[in-house]
A and B are shown apart, each in its own frame.
Chain A
Amino acid sequence: MESLDLEQMSVRDINQYLHNTLPETNVTELEIVNPTGEHNIAVGINTECSLDVRGHAGYYLGGMNKKANITVHGNAGNGVAENMMSGSVHVKGFASAAAGASGHGGTLVIDGDTGLRCGISMKGIDIVVGGSIGNFSGFMAQAGRMVICGDAGEGLADSLYEAVFYVKGTIKSLGADAQLESMTDADHKAVQELLDFAGFEHDPKEFKRVASAKQLYNWNADADQEY
């Protein structure tokens, strides 16, 4: 396993290595030690690899990740795995706000809780949260799935489009145009698959489905409310 030490190297040095040197090597397993909450660790990887970050990370860990499977053995700051395209990011601790924001693909797993706006503007990413999620999560979520094993905060999935949310615990309130829907066999299967991926043990039948009521999909410019 290749070891990169953030006490010996800068974030810039490490990202440059991950972008330019790694694809030219046969290295498939790496670790970053002493991350000490640095921002922008492992941003923009475009190579298949397994990367362990041994400690806490700051903002945007694994941002715009493609192909890599990243595990954070600690907590992650704002915007972990933002705009991820593929691969995976697994946070063993807690994650701050905007986890998985605008992610297009891949899977984000957070063992603990997340802060505000988890999955905001998500575009196809799957997110599995072992704990609870903060307020305004899933705002304007376009596509993808989110499984929440704990509780959801205020305004869940406000103004969402095609993304689907599965919540085991309580939902403090739903956002505009979000509604509870019946779980189907396909939903149970999807939840089970995502739980299996994350390594969480829950009964899919205990989850509720939240999706868009689709009442905000089109502006009615021809509305005539005179009579």
Chain B
Amino acid sequence: MSKHHLEESVGFSSKTRDYIQRASSTGLYEIRGIGAKRALPSFDDLVFLAGSASRYPLEGYREKCTTKTVLGTRFAKKPIVLDTPITIAGMSFGALSANVKESLGMAATNMGTSTTTGDGGMTPEERNSSKTLVYQCLPSRYGFNPDDVRKADAIELVIGQGAKPGGGGMLLGQKVNARVASMRTLPQGVDQRSACRHPDWTGPDDLAIKVAELRELTDWEKPIYIKIGATRVYHDVKLAVHAGADVIVVDGMQGGTAATQTVFIEHIGIPTLAALRQAVEALEDMDMIGTVQLIVSGGIRSGADVAKALAMGADAVAIGQGAMISLGCNNDTYIKDGAHHSAEADYAALDTKAGFCHHCHTGKCPTGVATQDPILEQRIEPKVGAKRVTNYLKTLTMELTTVARACGKSNVHHLEREDLVCLTLESAAMAKLPLAGTSWIPGVTEAK
């Protein structure tokens, strides 16, 4: 048979046919972990215009370049002061093991940055290991209590998540062991739905009163963050500012999840790049730049991503999946007793391979990251995990500062939009930055 007889349909590719066959077999939508796998406009589509004749670069390795980051200066009596603008995003104990949460806390402390709780509440391991801990108040309120609010350094009121805006969350029963169940006041082994909306407020005016309640509870000491999943970002950021947020966290659609419907992960929300630009515009229009800080998350992987986010107007970034991969997610080995051990058989048991795994929802994580299994969770030793995440964050911070120096900045927060251009029309339109080699910003300026 000649090759032209084997042309595959683009619309009904093997991937699409697999989806239809699976749906026909089960009558159920797919639930999985990790984030969007499709190609999206991203920070990869941006490049820096470093110093040359018209701009004066700093020496790349040694000249001072400040990374100090202060969050929560609007109303909180005790803003958070970090040594780097790279923070650890909210991820739940339940989705992740106690060892992993401890590792993240230790790494954040090593780097002088913050880490964040997740659905299910705060564990003592996480609190004790984290110098600066942000405590999430989520729609489910699983494990949420005033004692832990008082122990926290900041409160993050979560309205949505980039991987699943409007969708709430789910922790399937296989990950709900006795400890997780107890923290969430539910029976062991029962699926735990995280509601898609908060129980005690329903709109922006209510939200303002809710924020005020949290401020009263904390005697106006702790910064209040509001986290939104990226959809109508411009308006949502304005409403969050109106509600009294000190800090706004915008999570783009490349953000990860431990379990949600694939249709949410791939088809709801907007890319981080577009979300960040809209958020900055909203703050500019309200004259809130420098008053309300902006954290962006959702697919931040490298120091280059961090630098681009800061140049576009973010004050800090939050990293989730990157930290998980640093710990061993989707690696073909795990580290135990000072040696690497193959995890291939465990991937095979899930009918997947290292690099392709998105089975966080099963609780059978081959490298022990997203699990509550008593054997698998031992595959992350807190000190080893902390060392790896520390190294990762250190590398990102080094990359960030070297890019900033190349652009002539002695402070990473001095990176600016003028330092960036785009490689594609889509990214130029979304970021409202010029296409490289031109002064054309699609939708803003006319092509010349």
* Chain A residues with CB under 8 A of B212: 39-40
Contact B172 A39 (CB under 8 A): no
Instruction: State whether the Cβ of B374 lies closer than 8 Å to any Cβ in chain A.
Output: no
Instruction: Answer whether A104 and B145 are a contact pair too, CB < 8 Å, given A40-B209, A220-B28, A224-B25.
Output: yes
Residues in B with CB closer than 8 Å to A140 are 193, 195
CA distance A85 to B361 in the complex (A): 31
> Is B163 part of the contact surface with A, judged by Cβ < 8 Å?
no
Q: Would you call B173 an interface residue if the criterion is a C-beta within 8 Å of the partner chain's C-beta atoms?
A: yes
Q: Contact: B191 with A83, CB < 8 Å?
A: no
CB proximity of A98 to chain B, nearest CB, Å: 4
Interface residues of A in 206-221 (CB under 8 A from B): 216-221
Closest 9 CB pairs between A and B?
Answer: A79-B200, A44-B217, A102-B141, A64-B146, A101-B199, A101-B200, A225-B27, A120-B199, A98-B200
The interface residues of chain A lying within 8 Å CB-to-CB of B141 are 83, 102, 121, 123
Residue of A nearest to B195 (CB): A140
- Sorting the interface of chain A by its residue count into under 10, 10 to 19, 20 to 34 or 35 or more gives 35 or more
Closest Cβ of chain A: how far from B368's Cβ, in Å? 21
11 inter-chain pairs at a CB distance below 8 angstroms, sorted by A residue, are A39-B209, A39-B213, A40-B209, A59-B210, A63-B217, A85-B147, A101-B199, A104-B185, A162-B186, A217-B187, A219-B31
Residues of A close to B185: CB separation below 8 A: 104, 123-124, 142-143
Which chain A residues lie closer than 8 Å to B217 at the CB level? 43-44, 63-64
Q: Given A60-B209, A221-B31: A16 and B200 within 8 A (CB)? A: no
Collect the chain B residues with CB atoms within 8 Å of residue A224's CB.
Answer: 25-26
Decide: B219 and A19 in contact? CB cutoff 8 A.
yes
Number of interface residues of B (CB under 8 A): 40
Judge whether A223 and B27 touch: CB under 8 Å. Answer: yes
* Chain B residues, CB < 8 A from A225: 25-28
8 Å CB contact of A59 from B172, B184, B213, B218:
B213
CB distance from B197 to the nearest CB of A (A): 10
The yes or no answer to A34 lying at the interface (CB within 8 A) is: no
A interface, over-half SS: loop
B201–A83 CB distance below 8 A:
no
Q: Please tell me if A46 contacts chain B, counting CB pairs below 8 Å.
A: yes
Q: B145–A83 contact, CB under 8 A? A: yes
Task: Determine how close the nearest CB of chain A comes to the CB of B62; give it in whole angstroms.
Answer: 48
The answer to whether B264 has its CB under 8 Å from any CB of chain A is no
Interface residue? B9 (CB, 8 A): no
CB pair B199–A117 under 8 Å, yes or no, is yes
The interface residues of chain A lying within 8 Å CB-to-CB of B191 are 216-219
CA A104 to CA B26, docked complex, whole Å = 38
Shortest Cβ gap from B138 to chain A (Å): 10
Residues of chain A within 8 A of B140, CB atoms compared: 121
Smallest Cβ distance from A197 to chain B, in angstroms? 21
Least CB separation from B190: chain A residue = A217
Answer yes or no: A66 CB below 8 A from chain B CBs.
Answer: yes
Please give 11 more A-B residue pairs, beta carbons under 8 A apart, in addition to A120-B200, A161-B187.
A43-B216, A44-B216, A59-B209, A78-B209, A82-B199, A83-B141, A83-B145, A85-B147, A102-B141, A219-B170, A226-B25
B24 at the interface (CB under 8 A from A): yes
* Contact with A223, one of B26, B145, B184, B200 (Cβ below 8 angstroms): B26
Do A66 and B146 touch (CB < 8 A)? yes
B113-164, CB < 8 A from A: 140-141, 144-147, 149
Residues of B within 8 A of A205 (CB): none
When the two chains form the complex, which single residue of B24, B149, B193, B213 contacts A40, counting CB atoms closer than 8 Å? B213
Residue A15 at the chain B interface, CB threshold 8 Å: yes
Known: A98-B199, A142-B185. A44 touches B146 (CB 8 A): yes
Given A121-B140, A124-B185, also A78-B146 (CB < 8 A): no
Nearest CB of A to B140, in Å: 7
User: With A and B bound together, what is the CA distance between A193 and B332 in angstroms?
Assistant: 58
Q: Does B206 have its Cβ within 8 Å of any Cβ on chain A? A: yes
